[in-house]
Amino acid sequence: MDMIKKNKVILTDCDGVCLDWEYGFHTWMETHGHTLKQKDLYSVAKQYELTDEQAKRQVEIFNSSASMGFLPPLRDAQYYIKLLAEKLGYRFVAVTSLSNDVSAQKLRTCNLKKLFGNDTFVEYHYLGCGDDKDEILLQLANKYEGSIWVEDKYINAEVGADAGFDSLLMEHGHNLNYDADERVSIVRNWEEIYNYVERKETERDLKRRTSKFKKDI
């Protein structure tokens, strides 16, 4: 772990990026007697026609439940995150506004290890349910500035760009109308992230070889 290179680290949100939180949450809400009213909205209150306080409470309960140990991967996340780790040597840093509940945090750590491998994630940063990520991203920028940061909430994607990260926004129905900040690139899945990383690696290698060639002549 101490040999991990700064340019071989990807920081990522978990819910809606690595894990299919929406599927898990909607399934859980259905078993608790709630009916989904509107899809493709970020607001749980509007999705289920609840008050903001009721919606917040439901999310808090779900995020502290045993379900955190069993969320499925989002789209093609499992295949390409493992490929980034095993083929290209990348390691991942999780930054998630899950819960302050230690048991839920342990379940999430186990969930990520089970899906993506024991050594793929090297750091786990847990915040309270729905907490802003401004402060933690600024702290992590001291160590990983310039690394890739993946989010599905556009505000957090912009915060990452402000902190000096190469910010990617995972596309969802709730952010389709986002008027993209030029510093934020939109991706539809992890295959696109993998291809993006490969291009960056190629460009970096070419720059290194060119620099070496100039020194040798």
Q: What is the pLDDT of residues 185-208, one digit of tens each?
A: 999 999 999 999 999 999 988 877
Q: What is 142-206 written as a DSSP string?
A: HHHTTSEEEESSHHHHHHHHHTT-EEEEE--GGGTT----TTEEEESSHHHHHHHHHHHHHHHHH
State the pLDDT at residue 143. 95
State the pLDDT at residue 32. 96
State the pLDDT at residue 90. 97
State the pLDDT at residue 92. 98
Kindly report the pTM of this predicted structure. 0.92
Query: Which residues, given as ranges, of the chain have pLDDT below 50?
Result: 1-3
What separation in angstroms does the CA of 141 have from each of 103, 121, 146, 183?
Answer: 28, 17, 8, 16
State the pLDDT at residue 190. 98
All structural domains of the chain: 6-21+70-216 (3.40.50.1000)
State the pLDDT at residue 213. 59
Per residue, what are the HEC states of 81-136? HHHHHHCCCCEEEEEECCCCCHHHHHHHHHHHHHHHCCCCEEEEEECCCCCCCHHH
State the pLDDT at residue 169. 98
State the pLDDT at residue 15. 98
Yes or no: say if 42 and 175 are a contact pair by the CB < 8 Å rule: yes
